[in-house]
Structure formats: structure tokens, C-alpha cells
Amino acid sequence: MKIGTTVNGAARQDEIEDRLLLVHYLRDRCGLTATNVGCDTTSCGACTVLLDGESVKSCTVLAAQVDGREVTTVEGLSADGADPHPVQAAFRQEHGLQCGFCTPGMVMASVSLLRDNPKPTEQEVREGLEGNFCRCTGYHNIVRAVLAAADGVSS
């Protein structure tokens, strides 16, 4: 089947198999390898991207479902490709990563969270990131990063 979608602001037309998952489309067809394959069961959130602005776990979305829609990956957050998005900058500043495997999904979930709730409390950040799993950090610096980004985004 043929799909037409916008990925990180660029229009694409691709012939795909009906069963192709969005995460594999992004990695293998689009070359956007920051979207990680972690569990294939929506448990870890490493594959989180924005679909029409809403965070989704791309391991359980079929590529066919993005026909006519807009997908944003962590590579597409920076408007000019050079300056990081405020959430990316906050993750760096607050050391909100360790091994980095979960970071793209955490960043994308955080962008969605802050769009919906620009001034979250610590508890709201923790609840908002519930579906994203990190084995390394203990979440303390991730939560601090999201709160710092909220301050930076709204200032």
C-alpha cells in the first residue's frame, strides 16, 4: 500500500507493507534511528513520537495509520536543526539521561506533557511520564529536567 505522510516537516510518499509498524518505518525507511525499539509491547516508551502533536508509542501504531498525518520524532524537534528544543536543552542541563536509550521517548513524552500542561507539578510530571521506563536514572533528574523545561518554555 502507498502512504503519504509528513515526517519532521517533510512530506513523504512510500510504498509499505500493511503490517509495517511505525517504529520500523521511521527507523528503516526514514533513517530516523533515535526512535528506539525497546519492548514492542508499549511497556517502555522508548519509541514514543508525536502523531499530530499527541505522544504515541510507535511500536503499536501501524505505518498505514499515519497516512495523511504528521509525525514528529526527536530529530524533528529543533526548528533549525542546530539549537536544541527547550526540553532537549533541559535534559542536558539537568543530566536527565544516563545510558540515553530511553531519552528520545522521554523527551517526546515530555514535549507532549508540557504542551498539555505548561506548568506541571512534580507529581503531574511523574504521572505524565508513567508510560516511559528508565532503568538507569531513578527519574529524579528527568523530573527536574521537565520542570526546568516548563520554566524555560513559559518564560
* Residue labelled with grid coordinates 507539578: 121
CB 133 within 8 A of CB 44: yes
Tens digit of each residue's pLDDT (9 = 90 or more) over 24-35: 999 999 999 999
Tens digit of each residue's pLDDT (9 = 90 or more) over 101-136: 999 999 999 999 999 999 999 999 999 999 999 988
Please state which CATH class domain 2-73 belongs to. alpha beta
This prediction's pTM: 0.92
The residue ranges of every structural domain in the chain are 2-73, 86-154
Which fold does the domain 86-154 belong to in CATH?
DNA polymerase; domain 1 (1.10.150)
Q: Which one of 9-18, 94-103, 127-136 scores highest in mean pLDDT?
A: 9-18
CB 68 within 8 A of CB 4: yes
